[in-house]
C-alpha cells in the first residue's frame, strides 16, 4: 500500500510518479508490473521518482494486472468478414492501439447464429481468455449488452446500439449520417430515378441508413426505384444490381451501403454495356482507398474504419484501467468523385 512521507498529506498516486518522471502512467505501470519495453534509463528515472514520493503500487492492482489475459476479443459473423478491406482496416486500427501496450487481439468468426455466439461469449468469460471485447453490428433485439454485463465482461460497441443502452459505444455520427447529403448530391445533378442497395434488415445501422434514404427521397417528393436489403456482400449486391438494370424502369443512380457492393455494381453495369457515370451514377459508403483506384473513381461517404478501430480499442483499454488518450473519430464526409454525373 502506498504511504505518504509526511503525515496528513495526500497519498501519492501513479499519476504523481508519472508527472515527476516525465512519462505516462502506462510507462510507470509497465515498470512496476515488469511488462512492456521501457528503456533502462527511463525505468530508473521512474523508480527514482517513486522513491522520492515514497510510492509503491497496490498489491491488489498488481495481482489484478498479472491475472489478465492481455488480450481483447473481436467476434465477427461471416457476413462481416466478407466485407474484406473494411474489416481489415478496422482490425488494423484496433491493433495499432493494442500492440504498443502488448495486448493481443483474438479474432473469432461465426455464422450468423446468435445462440452460438452467446454461448461463445460465456466460454470466453469463464476461461478468462480475453479481458474485454469489441462488439460490432448491433442487431434489433440485441441480447449481447445484457449478456456482457451479466458476465462482467468489459465491452465497447463499434456503432450505435439498437436502443438506448449504457454500454459505451463509438459512433461520432448518427448511423444514417451521410445519406441525406448523398441524396441531395444526386438530386442536384438531376437524378430522379434513384435506387438504394442497403444492408441486413435486422442491423440497427443498416436500418438507420435505409430510413434516412427513404426520408431524404420522400422529402424531395420522389418515389425510389427500389430499396433493397442485402447481407453486405459483393455477390448479393451484384445480383441485385443486375435485376435493377434489367428492369424496364431502370435507375439512373444507385446508392450502396458499402464500397465493395458499389464496386461490384460498377462491374455489373459495365458487363451490360453501360457507361459510368453517363448512363449510371454510383455512390458507395466506407471511404475505402480502393475506391480511388476504380475507373471512374468512386464517389463515397467516408467512415474511417481505421480510426473507428483505434477509438474502440482505446475506449476498451481505458475501461480496463490503461492510461491512454481516447482517439477521436473524424465525422463522415461525402467525397464526390467521377462515378457521379448528371443523367443523360
Give dist(CA 262, CA 234) in Å, integer.
Answer: 8
User: What's the pLDDT tens digit per position in 137-196?
Assistant: 888 888 888 998 888 889 999 888 888 888 888 876 777 889 999 999 999 999 999 999
* Residue 236, in any domain of the structure: yes
310 and 280: one domain? no
pLDDT class of 4 with cuts at 50, 70, 90: very low
Distances in Å between the alpha carbon of 16 and those of 21, 24, 72? 9, 10, 29
Q: Which of 264, 140, 266 shows the shortest CA–CA distance to 210?
A: 140
* Residue 1, in any domain of the structure: no
Give dist(CA 216, CA 290) in Å, integer.
Answer: 28
Residues shown for the chain: 344
Cis peptide before 296 (omega within 30 of 0): yes
192 and 282: one domain? yes
Any idea what the CATH number is for the domain that residue 37 is in?
1.10.260
Count of domains forming the chain: 3
Q: What is the pLDDT of residue 320?
A: 87
Helix ranges, 100-223 (H):
114-127, 144-150, 179-189, 204-219
Q: What is the pTM of this model?
A: 0.77
* Residue 91, in any domain of the structure: yes
* Residue 267, in any domain of the structure: yes
pLDDT class of 121 with cuts at 50, 70, 90: confident
pLDDT class of 80 with cuts at 50, 70, 90: very low
Average pLDDT, the chain: 85
Residue with cell 471485447: 133
151 and 216: one domain? no
Judged against a pLDDT cut of 90, whether residue 197 lies above it is answered with yes
- Mean pLDDT value across residues 255-261: 94
Give dist(CA 300, CA 287) in Å, integer.
Answer: 6
Judged against a pLDDT cut of 80, whether residue 63 lies above it is answered with no
296 and 196: one domain? yes
56 and 76: one domain? no
- Provide the residue range defining the domain that includes 54: 14-65
Any idea what the CATH number is for the domain that residue 200 is in?
3.40.50.2300
pLDDT class of 6 with cuts at 50, 70, 90: very low
* Residue 3, in any domain of the structure: no
168 and 202: one domain? no
* Residue 8, in any domain of the structure: no
Cell matching residue 262: 458499389
Amino acid at each position: 500500500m502506498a504511504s505518504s512521507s509526511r503525515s496528513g498529506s495526500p497519498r501519492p498516486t501513479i499519476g504523481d510518479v508519472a508527472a515527476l518522471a516525465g512519462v505516462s502512467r502506462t510507462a510507470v505501470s509497465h515498470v512496476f508490473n515488469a511488462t512492456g519495453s521501457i528503456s533502462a534509463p527511463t525505468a530508473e528515472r521512474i523508480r527514482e521518482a517513486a522513491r522520492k514520493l515514497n510510492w509503491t503500487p497496490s498489491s491488489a492492482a498488481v495481482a489484478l494486472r498479472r491475472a489478465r489475459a492481455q488480450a481483447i476479443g473481436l467476434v465477427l459473423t461471416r457476413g462481416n468478414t466478407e466485407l474484406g478491406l473494411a474489416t481489415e482496416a478496422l482490425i488494423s486500427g484496433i491493433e495499432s492501439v493494442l500492440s504498443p501496450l502488448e495486448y493481443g487481439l483474438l479474432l473469432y468468426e461465426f455464422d450468423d447464429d446468435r445462440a452460438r455466439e452467446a454461448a461463445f461469449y460465456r466460454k470466453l468469460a469463464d476461461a478468462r481468455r480475453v479481458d474485454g471485447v469489441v462488439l460490432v453490428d448491433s442487431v434489433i433485439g440485441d441480447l449481447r449488452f445484457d449478456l456482457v454485463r451479466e458476465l462482467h465482461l468489459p465491452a465497447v460497441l463499434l456503432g450505435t446500439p439498437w436502443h438506448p443502452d449504457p454500454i459505451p459505444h463509438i459512433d461520432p455520427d448518427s448511423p444514417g449520417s451521410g445519406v441525406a447529403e448523398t441524396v441531395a448530391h444526386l438530386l442536384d445533378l438531376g437524378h430522379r430515378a434513384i435506387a438504394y442497395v442497403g444492408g441486413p434488415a435486422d442491423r440497427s445501422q443498416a436500418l438507420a441508413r435505409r430510413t434516412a434514404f427513404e426520408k431524404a427521397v420522400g422529402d424531395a417528393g420522389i418515389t425510389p426505384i427500389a430499396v433493397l436489403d442485402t447481407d453486405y456482400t459483393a455477390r448479393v449486391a451484384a445480383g441485385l444490381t443486375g435485376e435493377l438494370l434489367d428492369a424496364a424502369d431502370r435507375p439512373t443512380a444507385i446508392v450502396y451501403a458499402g464500397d465493395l457492393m458499389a464496386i461490384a455494381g460498377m462491374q455489373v453495369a459495365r458487363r451490360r454495356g453501360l457507361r459510368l457515370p453517363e448512363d449510371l451514377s454510383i455512390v458507395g459508403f466506407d471511404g475505402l482507398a480502393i475506391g480511388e483506384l476504380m475507373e471512374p473513381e468512386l464517389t463515397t461517404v467516408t467512415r474511417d474504419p481505421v480510426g473507428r478501430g483505434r477509438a474502440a480499442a482505446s475506449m476498451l483499454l481505458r475501461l480496463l484501467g490503461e492510461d491512454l488518450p481516447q482517439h477521436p473519430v473524424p465525422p463522415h464526409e461525402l467525397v464526390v468523385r467521377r462515378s457521379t454525373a448528371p443523367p443523360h
